[in-house]
Amino acid sequence: EVNANEGVRQQAGAYPNPEISYLQEDTQRATRTATLQLNQPIELGGKRAARMAAAERGYDIAGEDLAARRLAVRAAVTAGYFDTLAAQERVRVADEALELAGRATRAAALRVKAGKVASIEETKARVAEAGVQVEAHQARSELRSAQARLAALLGQGQPRTLVLDGRLDELPTAPSLEDTQRQVENSPALRRARLEIERRMALTELEQARRIPDLTLSVGAKREEALGRNQAIVGVSIPLPLFDSNRGNLLEALKREDKAREELRSAQLQVAADALQARERLESARMEAGSLAAQVLPGAQSAYEAAVKGFELGKFSFLEALDAQRTLLQARM
């Protein structure tokens, strides 16, 4: 689109083409009159300058659209990377969960074999382990899907296994309100909206200039065979704006200029709201992750270890150990 608008910008600066005309009166050689004439339209009122200004703003708008598309692709790749990294981490946690579930099953089997609990306890443990296996299978399926999406974003037609090297516990800091506001004011969407106003203003100037008729200069020569002489021809023509004064086009341009200003105000409100909402989501996610890492996860790990040890010693039932295991896995996820 940027390259296409380069063509529009070149065309906007072109001058009107001259016109050559030939007129012959009578067909008899002795009495005929032949006229050869060159006509050159001349634009008045600044039409060419306004047209070039509008084309220039259109070229700039295409550049802002390109910048916005690049940012969108960058955001999609970033989101795809962390989605894949999170899916990769969920697979690791699911594998650890399988190991925990297997440990619980073995402990239940030993207690059943020792005659300390009923065989139903071992059955419950195996059912719980099977459920964890299903969750592990789902985690691997989600990882393959996330890898395929990321590969597509990276331009790789054939999805392949992408092993990412990253840390999910290194949390980004939220920008300050002042930084957020500065980013909003410099966003491609608002820059584009401002350029659209400038383009509409240039189009309004163009429609105003079109109310001024263009001038056509004519020069030529006329040959009269009957008199045997040549005559020079010089002429000027200009349309009379009696029926078409371009009022409708000018009104349209003015209203579209007003519309562009309203769209800028709407874009300012929308972008500011989206940026603040994103900042609040980031702050909330940071607080949640910090709380999980500092309080919930250590507590769940401690409760699980105590429950499993107590179950092995016969102080807790298997359901209590299973509940502690589920709580730990949920906190990890």
**Average pLDDT estimate for 163-184:** 88
| H or E element that contains 38 | strand 33-42
Mean local confidence (pLDDT), 4-33: 92
Tokens of 195: 């350029």
- φ, ψ (nearest 5 deg) of residue 263: -65, -35
| DSSP one-letter code for 319 | H
Instruction: Locate the domains of the chain by residue range.
Output: 2-160+175-224+246-332
Instruction: Return d(Cα 106, Cα 99) in angstroms, integer.
Output: 11
Average the pLDDT over each of 84-88, 109-113, 157-161, 169-173 and give the range with the smallest value.
157-161
Three-state secondary-structure class, residue 116: coil
Percent of the chain residues topping a pLDDT of 70 = 98
Mean pLDDT of the chain: 89
Alpha-carbon span 301 to 295, nearest angstrom: 10
For residue 322, pLDDT beyond 80: no
Q: What is the pLDDT of residue 132?
A: 84
pLDDT band at 123; cut points 50, 70, 90: confident
Cα Rg, the chain, nearest whole Å:
39
Residue whose C-alpha is closest to residue 314's, from 120, 100, 96, 121: 121
Choose between 38 and 320: higher pLDDT.
38
Share of the chain above pLDDT 90, in %: 59
Query: What would the mean pLDDT of 238-251 be, rounded to a whole number?
Result: 92
Number of Cβ within 10 Å of residue 150's Cβ equals 23
Alpha-carbon distance of 166 to 238, in angstroms, equals 73
pLDDT in tens, 133-144: 898 999 999 999
pLDDT of residue 159: 63
CA 36/CA 156 separation, integer angstroms: 65
* pLDDT value for 93: 87
Could you give the CA distance from residue 58 to residue 196 in angstroms, rounded to a whole number? 8
Q: What is the mean pLDDT of residues 114-143?
A: 84
In this structure, CATH architecture of domain 2-160+175-224+246-332:
Up-down Bundle (1.20)
